[in-house]
Structure 1
Amino acid sequence: MADTNEIYKYFEPTVQQNTLALSNIHTLTSWGVGTAAGILGLTGWNGFIFFLANWVVISALILFVKCGGNPSVHFKSSFMDVAVSPLLNTLLSYVLVWTLMYALVYVYD
């Protein structure tokens, strides 16, 4: 009987809306952090360390401010949905904007 309660624990449209909002937050912050890294002229591992440091801060803010410290209320797999799952897509967006901004500021001057 516990399995039946687990199936109906979440209302799927609300979970999808929360996931979309989370995706938007991660995408926009990756663009902002990528822009900052490009303008600051970070290259190589420094840029990736900058990304990871900002990723930890943004994920912590989402977990504690937006989710109130309890992400399992808003997402099915809680911490995985908030901090781990969108990491690769966000990293790709970050690298794209980072290299674009670096090229615009430092290569073409």
Structure 2
Amino acid sequence: MADTSEIYKYFEPTVQHNTLALSNIHTLTSWGVGTAAGILGLTGWNGFIFFMANWVVISLLVLAVKCEGRPSVYFKASIMDVAGTPLLNTLLSYVLVWTLMHALVYIYD
């Protein structure tokens, strides 16, 4: 039988709120980074390297500032919830905005 301290360790509405806030942070920053990559004219692997560098910076900032260095207090899976889980959805948003902005800026080149 599970320990009662483990069962009541996380209050589910609070964890869901934290996950939603983290998702909003990652989505909005991916739009900003995608816009910057499109305007800078990054193509191919340079754009993906730009995304990964910014992903690492944003994840470290979230861990340091929002989670105060203790992600296990705010999320069940700790660092995976902050850095790993939302990666694919954020990458798709980034690519969408990146290609849109690149097409808008460099349409007549």
Q: Where does the alignment leave 5 or more consecutive residues of structure 2 unmatched?
A: none
Aligned residues: 109
Percent of aligned pairs sharing the same letter: 86
Question: Quick one: distance in 1 between partners of 2:105 and 2:94?
Answer: 16
Q: CA deviation at 1:108?
A: 3.7
Q: Please, what TM-score do these two structures have when normalized by structure 1? A: 0.96
Q: CA deviation at 1:39?
A: 0.1
The residue that corresponds to 2:23 in the other structure is 23
Q: Please, what TM-score do these two structures have when normalized by structure 2? A: 0.96
1:60 partner amino acid: L
Question: Quick one: distance in 1 between partners of 2:3 and 2:107?
Answer: 58
RMSD: 1.1
Question: Quick one: distance in 2 between partners of 1:79 and 1:30?
Answer: 19
Q: CA deviation at 1:2?
A: 5.4
1:98 partner amino acid: W
Q: CA deviation at 1:4?
A: 2.6
Q: Where does the alignment leave 5 or more consecutive residues of structure 1 unmatched?
A: none
Which stretches of structure 1, 4 residues or longer, exceed 4 Å deviation after superposition?
Answer: none
Question: Quick one: distance in 2 between partners of 1:108 and 1:91?
Answer: 27
